[in-house]
């Protein structure tokens, strides 16, 4: 087993916010590899976060992001359990990151269960027809459709999207990591994305129909 220095433990702690003992154990498990130890902590953190997700989160903050040029803006509400955590730099940074995520990745829904049934049916039909046009055998089409739906959810559902600052993390995993770090339940309540000209363009399409 690799020798784990106090400096390496501190480096991992500064990076993840996990406790010193947890960092040391993760580094031992990862044989001193800092990146692998972070993955170990992330997996444990996600499991730990699940225990807190049932708790009421009625505090929080409204975040905003205005893209340079003032043509694109975002409002987002992120909840936590206490005003104390809501005021911390860590929570405020998370809210800012999530507002930027919505601006950059343009999600249409918060979670998978918010995707309307007719939209889901249409996407399944499109994926199945595409697979048939590619000459895929009928017996594997259902599995192909499931895989393409995962990609669809990654594009349109905020919680499923890869985090723009670290695409090995989904937004769901980012939230869970912060739940563990801040020791409180955290959730995104709602968001709105505004782009200059969108409503006028939509009205024009409806008039054309």
Q: What is the pTM of this model?
A: 0.73
> How far apart (Å, rounded) are the C-alpha atoms in residues 38 and 18?
10
Which pLDDT score is estimated for 101? 97
Indicate whether 91 and 169 sit together in one domain: yes
Indicate whether 167 and 70 sit together in one domain: yes
| Residue 38 counted as domain residue | yes
Q: How many residues are present in the chain? A: 209
Of the two residues 40 and 115, the one the predictor is more confident about is: 115
Of the two residues 17 and 8, the one the predictor is more confident about is: 8
CA atoms within 13 A on the CB side of 109: 16
> Average pLDDT, stretch 34-56?
72
| Predicted confidence (pLDDT) at residue 20 exceeds the cutoff of 70 | yes
Which pLDDT score is estimated for 66? 96
What is the number of domains present in the chain? Answer: 3
Indicate whether 105 and 162 sit together in one domain: yes
Indicate whether 47 and 11 sit together in one domain: yes
For the segment 129-173, what is each residue's pLDDT rounded down to a tens digit? 988 888 888 888 888 999 999 999 999 999 999 999 998 889 998
22 lies in which domain range? Answer: 6-52
> How far apart (Å, rounded) are the C-alpha atoms in residues 14 and 10?
6
Indicate whether 102 and 15 sit together in one domain: no
Indicate whether 124 and 24 sit together in one domain: no
Indicate whether 48 and 139 sit together in one domain: no
Which pLDDT score is estimated for 126? 93
> How far apart (Å, rounded) are the C-alpha atoms in residues 26 and 3?
13
For the segment 104-138, what is each residue's pLDDT rounded down to a tens digit? 999 999 999 999 999 999 999 999 998 888 888 88
Structure tokens at 184: 């409180």
| Predicted confidence (pLDDT) at residue 62 exceeds the cutoff of 70 | yes
Which pLDDT score is estimated for 54? 67
Position 198 confidence tier, pLDDT thresholds 50, 70, 90: confident
Indicate whether 84 and 170 sit together in one domain: yes
Q: Buried b vs exposed e over 133-158: b needs ≥16 C-beta within 10 Å?
A: eeeeeeeebeebbeebbeebbeebbb
């Amino acid at each position: 087993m690799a020798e784990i220095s106090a400096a390496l433990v501190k480096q991992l702690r500064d990076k993840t916010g996990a406790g010193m003992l947890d960092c040391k154990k993760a580094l031992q498990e990862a044989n001193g590899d800092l990146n692998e130890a972070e993955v170990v902590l992330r997996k444990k953190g996600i499991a730990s976060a699940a225990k807190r997700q049932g708790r009421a989160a009625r505090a929080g903050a409204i975040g905003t992001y205005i893209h340079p040029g003032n043509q694109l803006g975002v409002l987002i509400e992120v909840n936590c359990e206490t005003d104390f955590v809501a005021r911390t730099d860590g929570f405020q940074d998370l809210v800012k990151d999530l507002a930027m995520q919505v601006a950059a990745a343009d999600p249409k829904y918060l979670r998978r269960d918010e995707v309307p049934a007719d939209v889901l049916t249409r996407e399944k039909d499109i994926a199945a027809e595409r697979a048939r046009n590619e000459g895929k055998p009928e017996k594997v089409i259902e599995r192909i459709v499931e895989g393409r739906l995962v990609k669809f959810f990654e594009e349109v559902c905020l919680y499923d999207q890869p985090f723009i600052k670290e695409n090995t993390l989904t937004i769901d995993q980012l939230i869970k990591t912060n739940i563990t770090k801040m020791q409180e339940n955290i959730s995104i309540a709602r968001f709105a994305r505004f782009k200059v000209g969108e409503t006028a363009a939509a009205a024009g399409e409806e008039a054309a129909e």
